[in-house]
Structure 1
Amino acid sequence: MKNNKFYRLLAAGLISTTVLSAGPVATFAGAPVVAQAASTMDTATEIDLFSGFETTVSKGEVQYYKFYNTTGTAIDLTIGSNDNHIDADVSIMKKINGIYVNVRGYKYKKGSNPEAYYYCLEADKNPYILVVKGSEDEDSETLGITATKLEDPSASLKSGKKVKTGELVSSRIYTKDDRDCYKFNSGKYNLIKIQATSGNWASNIYSVYKNTSGASSSVVGSWNYNSLSSETQTSDYIRLEKNTDYYIDAKLWNGDPEEYSFKILGYVDVENQEKKASVVKMGKSVAGQLEVKDDVDYYKFKATKSGKVKLTASAEEAFFKDVTMDIYKKGSASKLVTTEVKKTATKASFKVKKNKWYVVRITGAAKKAYTFKIK
């Protein structure tokens, strides 16, 4: 007996009950009967999947329909049955190098009737094949099938959706193969963090690329959002160049596809190039941090007097690599001071000439804070 869900689909105009006596057919809601369903992929009946249609499939029968998706999108494929539960099997295939292969979907509606699946379909001038297979154990079954296009960021870095630092971005991973790509400009920032949240049991991986090649060599940073709850988490720092375009993709790392949101947080760090060294003054305390692995912070100061001056510095303890400060005259390779900076005050003295510029180069373990003063 047809259940209430089937009648609701019928009343909504999503399916039609017109069936030819000659065999199984598909009909669009409010439209004439279309050609009889094909029994091979190469002769598949063309349909407009997004208008919805009905078909009756016999025990053990396999029907093939073709539809086009030239723009690329995620879809919500919904199947309703005139029975209390769905016995038939529905899948989507496409031809790759002359061979038909399954497009992996994700069943997000667990109820027996109707069923609903997410699919991510790439833009393709060639048709996709919808396969409807009748049950091997049950009699014929009438199905109402419809699909809805969903908003889904491009899976291509080259076509990544433009976003801004500080903007809250929300979307969904629809299948285990889904990949969402974005593009942003670093602007005044040379450091970022990624702050993200996701549905329960969903863990995504976010990768930042310096170009659209997608090669591992172009990855400047990667971070796994790993949570058994929907709590907000924040990545470590990722080093960038200022005023540069970057590309970021989000994809499933572990768990089930879910909704997610993220934000790119921008920070201005001391430059890691001598020619862009931050200017500091003698007698003033300076505080900083080595935010990322292999980070280098450069400062420069102009001597206000000639003679001996003193460096006083301290830094967080590091298990493997202490914070090190090198001081040298600008344009010279000869170091005036090289010292490992400890948690307690570290002191060193060196000679300078008035009105000459000097460089302070700081290296060490990531995430270690430091302070120093020269007077």
Structure 2
Amino acid sequence: MPTNTSVVTGFILVGFSRLTSLQGLLFSFFLTVYLLTVAGNLLIVVLVSADAALWTPMYFFLRNLSTLEIGYTSVTVPLLLHHLLTSQHRIPRSGCALQMFFLLFGATECCLLAAMAYNRYAAICQPLRYPLLLSQRTCLCLAGSAWACGALVGLGHTSFVFSLPFCGRKAIPHFLCEIQAVLQLVCGNTSLNELQIILAAALLILCPFGLILGSYGHIMATIFQIPSAAGRLKAFSTCSSHLVVVSLFYGTAIFIYIRPKASYDPASDPLVSLFYAVVTPILNPIIYSLRNADVKAALKRLIQKSKSPTLFCLLLRNRKYLGWRINFTSRQADN
């Protein structure tokens, strides 16, 4: 009934409230993960912005991805920490809608990962045309489209879900306002609404995923044509980090969004969401930096430069490069 929508002015995020004996341990764990996530991704943003050796399309997209992960984590973990610390699990309706809006920026990550796969395809399969295929204009268009897609998806789905009537129930069986969990509280038959959400999710998740698979199909075909084993290994190693991130992100995203509401499991689904909302963002800087010689070299140069001027002064000195400048050389295209 439409009148029921005015009754529910806020929700209760059940989250980990049942684990009363573990509240302190969970708070310490999530606080540590959050601080490391923000620090790691912020470091990538600073390095890519300040070091000329990283002004390439791949690192341009990586900077966008790290920026997204900082925001993505910041709309979920601080609230979770507040709930664990105070045992107050209420979230206002507007706050729940805002959190859902930003969570749906996962569509942006889908597009950014597809753009990074296209970059690998251009660098390995079309090295002579690389500057043309990944021009500065193209990179800006791809990144801008990814952010615009996330904003449109978030606005569309959020306004759609919160225009539906709620039945007065307030307890969301989750630690965040994930769209499938909120749908559990909607009145009446929502099968048509679920179908629309699934179709939209399938389009926004599977289409970029298909582009990634196509890119790597061409990449693998090119790699197998390299005569030396060392050459094949070197070419494949440039893709391994991206493949790991794609596997982690798409595996959980497909499980969460491309299925009907009836299959929602309040016991296991929050654990899966915990993986893509909290764990994956901290893995990105680790995956992209530990085995990346360019990132480690840039970090060493940044530390050496920051011994004299402060980091703030260093960034000011490079402020004209904090935006969108991208350089192309044959060496950088192979990074």
Higher helix share: 2
Q: TM-score, normalised by structure 2?
A: 0.20
Higher strand share: 1
